[in-house]
Amino acid sequence: MRTHLKRIIGFVVAISAALTFVEACGGKGQGNNLTRQELLDPQTCGGCHPDQFEEWAGSMHAYSSIDPVFLAMNRRGQRETNGMLGNFCVNCHAPMAVHEGATTDGLNLDQVPQRLKGVTCFFCHSIDSVDGTHNNPIHLASDLVMRASITDPFQSRTHEAGYSTLLDRVQAQSATACGACHDIVSPHNAAIERTFEEWQQSVFSQPEGSSCGTCHMQQTTVDKPAAQVPGAPLRRPHSHTMAGVDTALVSFPDTQRERSQVQSFLDSTLQSALCVAQGGSQITVILDNVATGHFFPSGAAQDRRAWVELVAYSGGNRIYDSGVVADGVPVTTLNDPNLWLLRDCMFDQAGSQVSMFWQAASYEGNALTAHVTFDPADPRFYQTHKIKSYPLLTPPDRVTMRVRLQPVGLEVLDDLIATGDLDPRFRAAMPTLQMGATLEWTPTTATQAYRDPTTGTLYFCVTTTNLNVLADKFPAPTRSRCSP
């Protein structure tokens, strides 16, 4: 009898919830059916915006407050600063939890209601101003108007809808909303993340360029309603997956789609060429950051590891390599003077290199810069063509090259594991990704050539991209104060 009664009650509750969503997603009318508490919950949004919710639910924005590396860094940072770190991390990783007073330092995120975790629908779609450039200076409206990119919003009984340039991916101003959390200044005033600033310096911030959302929230090719409500007009919605280079290390929705989109970004980011000098005395590698509207790597570049792996052969024997590291071994452990490793290094107030962001008072980086002009006649156009040379003692008959990337370096994880802040099982979950195709040079595949203007040496090159090997080239930047 009790079991039967429970089933009846459960059925009634389910029907009631379904009717609530049906009523909430009703047609035109005045007034809001949804309360503020309901709008705070992304699950509520999924009732009328199922596609957008599904995409967001598998995104790094939804994942941001459960990421074990973030939790480990925050836990260690709070301990090592005696709590002075405060809401520094969680202010961007779970902004609504901070806004609603559910956490002050992120140490209790396991007890915070699910609706307040991550970067939520309500947080982004309530933005009415951005009052600074870094560390989340975002102001949220209190009028319960859900702002978006649609200039003529459809008004239903669910909630008030409005247009905002801060949410419109085709407007340059929308980048300020993204940049609010994607430019980070450390407690000791070091600009440790500069993605928005990098974009501002690039040609992509100009009218002919692209905003953050143009690349990371790509528009669909099919017209359909933005909301599943009666009478909603057809729109051209955009994606809410917001893929970058990070991927989930825990069980999470749509991990395969996320990884696929990350790989798609990586495959189109760089143009590259692999060249060998006539006579075989030297190899050169050319990299050009063509597809990102910011530097590469960007974001938490102090934790990211991107590097060139190069292997030369003669008669089937390996005669030279650089950047070759076994799976599971940190690339920074290589004793390789020619290693082309792209990363930031951080330094404390005494000038000593440090590994954790709350210690940083300055930084030094060697990322590939973003383009500042689309005009090939402008001398600055080819300044992004970076070249590095590798000496050879024996002429090769085959050379392979690829660019590899770890979103977070293995030695960073090892550091967190050693202090007991990160479960060791997450180390194996950190992927090592490849950017683009593997290039293979042989005398027959080297169909392009350039002559070094200083030495007169002729180089024969292979490339699978549109990189112009004849164009001006500039030395790869180095990190003078950094250890590997």
Q: What residue spans define the domains of the chain?
A: 24-64+119-235, 255-475
Which tokens sit at 335?
A: 């004793």
Please give the sequence-ordered ranges of beta strands (E in DSSP) within 315-427, or none if there are none.
317-322, 341-342, 344-347, 353-354, 362-365, 385-391, 398-406
Residue spans of the chain under pLDDT 70: 1-24, 26-32
Using alpha carbons, select from 214, 236, 216 the residue that is nearest to residue 225. 236
pLDDT at 357: 98
CA 267, 235, 180 angle in degrees (round to 5)?
A: 55
d(C-alpha 35, C-alpha 138), whole Å: 22
* 3-class state of residue 484 by DSSP: coil
Pairs from 359-365 (Cβ < 8 Å, separation ≥ 24): 359/188, 360/186, 360/188, 360/190, 360/192, 360/302, 361/186, 361/188, 361/189, 361/190, 362/190, 363/190, 363/191, 363/192, 363/302, 364/479, 364/480, 364/481, 364/482, 365/295, 365/301, 365/479
Q: In which element (H, E) is residue 352 found? A: none
For 462, phi and psi rounded to 5 degrees? -125, 140
- The whole-model pTM stands at 0.92
Using alpha carbons, select from 308, 298, 290 the residue that is nearest to residue 367. 298
Which tokens sit at 106?
A: 């992120």
Q: What is the pLDDT of residues 64-93, one digit of tens each?
A: 999 999 999 999 999 999 999 999 999 999
CA–CA distance from 236 to each of 158, 218, 412 (Å)? 21, 10, 41
Q: What is the pLDDT of residues 339-393, one digit of tens each?
A: 999 999 999 999 999 999 999 999 999 999 999 999 999 999 999 999 999 999 9
Calculate helix-pair angle for 410-418, 68-80, nearest 10 degrees.
Answer: 50
Using alpha carbons, select from 195, 141, 152, 160 the residue that is nearest to residue 369. 195
pLDDT at 478: 87
Which tokens sit at 293?
A: 């509207």
pLDDT at 10: 41
pLDDT at 433: 98
Residues 6+ apart with CB under 8 A from 18: none
pLDDT at 13: 36
